């Protein structure tokens, strides 16, 4: 299936999150991935093509401006971050963004094409697909996280309509699984195993992207959850 016939494609947002895009309805799906491999795999399923089909359709040519895609990918990545840093640190970031909007959008599109070429050529599967994931959820959203380090791998938003709330969720970088384990062992003698679990967002602490302060778990919620448990506390809260 050629690129022009692919209904679902991968696009990068301003912060290099990856979202499936419906070319027929001209809209993004309400899910964002940290891993571009995960985004392409989701599009493969939606397009009903074999694994890697969407990436192959979107990949860049073997050379861009005389440079191999891997080299160009690094240059594009650095330029995106350079522009993003200027937008965020400028006194008038909106004006900077408007002045570079065309270049920025073009770089994001090129980044996806170049990264797609790497996905096609990569022989090792992405760590995203290892079976060590757990879910953090709340009303209208869920976060798929790595049970080995707490990194947020996928953000799915379905019931939140306020842009500020959705942006806050997308900004969560990593769940504090070390503190969660320490708390769990303070109230239970069971083995601490996150894989396959679903936790309420109020039960966990986390760090936002961009070096922001850690957000602590809701201790009152944890205490109430313990009171509702029969016998020893479980992790599903």
Kindly list the distances between the CA atom of residue 58 and the CA atoms of 7, 97, 205, 222, 232, in Å, as whole numbers in the listed order: 12, 26, 37, 45, 51
Domain that holds residue 70: 1-125
Show the CA angle centred on residue 103, arms to residues 101 and 108, nearest 5°.
95
For residues 181 and 97, membership in a common domain is answered with no
For residues 134 and 121, membership in a common domain is answered with no
Confidence (pLDDT) at 63: 52
Three-state DSSP class for residue 152: strand
For residues 121 and 157, membership in a common domain is answered with no
For residues 52 and 120, membership in a common domain is answered with yes
For residues 4 and 46, membership in a common domain is answered with yes
For residues 20 and 108, membership in a common domain is answered with yes
Give the integer Cα–Cα distance in Å for 184 and 235: 8
The reply to whether the predicted model has a pTM over 0.85 is: no
pLDDT by residue (tens digit) across 128-156? 444 567 889 888 888 888 877 788 888 88
Task: Give the domain-ending residue among 72, 93, 125.
Answer: 125
Give the integer Cα–Cα distance in Å for 237 and 228: 9
For residues 121 and 139, membership in a common domain is answered with no
Please give the tally of structural domains in the chain. Answer: 2
| Residues of the chain predicted below pLDDT 70 | 1-5, 60-71, 121-132, 159-161, 189-192, 228-237
**Does the residue 234 lie in any domain?**
no
Confidence (pLDDT) at 2: 43
């Amino acid at each position: 299936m050629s690129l022009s016939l692919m209904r679902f494609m991968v696009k990068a947002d301003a912060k290099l999150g990856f979202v499936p895009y419906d070319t027929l309805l001209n809209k993004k799906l309400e899910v964002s991935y940290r891993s571009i491999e995960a985004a392409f795999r989701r599009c493969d399923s939606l397009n009903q093509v074999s694994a890697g089909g969407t990436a192959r359709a979107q990949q860049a040519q073997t050379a861009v401006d005389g440079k191999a895609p891997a080299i160009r990918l690094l240059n594009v990545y650095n330029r995106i971050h350079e522009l993003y840093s200027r937008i965020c640190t400028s006194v008038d970031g909106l004006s900077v963004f408007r002045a570079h909007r065309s270049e920025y959008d073009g770089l994001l599109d090129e980044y996806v094409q170049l990264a797609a070429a790497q996905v096609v050529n990569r022989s090792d599967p992405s760590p995203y697909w290892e079976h060590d994931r757990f879910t953090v959820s709340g009303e209208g959203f869920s976060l798929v996280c790595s049970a080995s380090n707490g990194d947020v791998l996928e953000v799915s938003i379905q019931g939140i309509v306020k842009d500020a709330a959705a942006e806050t969720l997308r900004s969560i970088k990593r769940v504090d699984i070390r503190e969660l384990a320490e708390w769990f062992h303070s109230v239970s003698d069971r083995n601490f195993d996150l894989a396959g679990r679903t936790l309420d967002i109020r039960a966990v602490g986390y760090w936002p992207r961009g070096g922001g302060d850690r957000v602590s778990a809701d201790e009152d919620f944890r205490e109430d959850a313990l009171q509702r448990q029969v016998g020893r506390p479980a992790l599903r809260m």
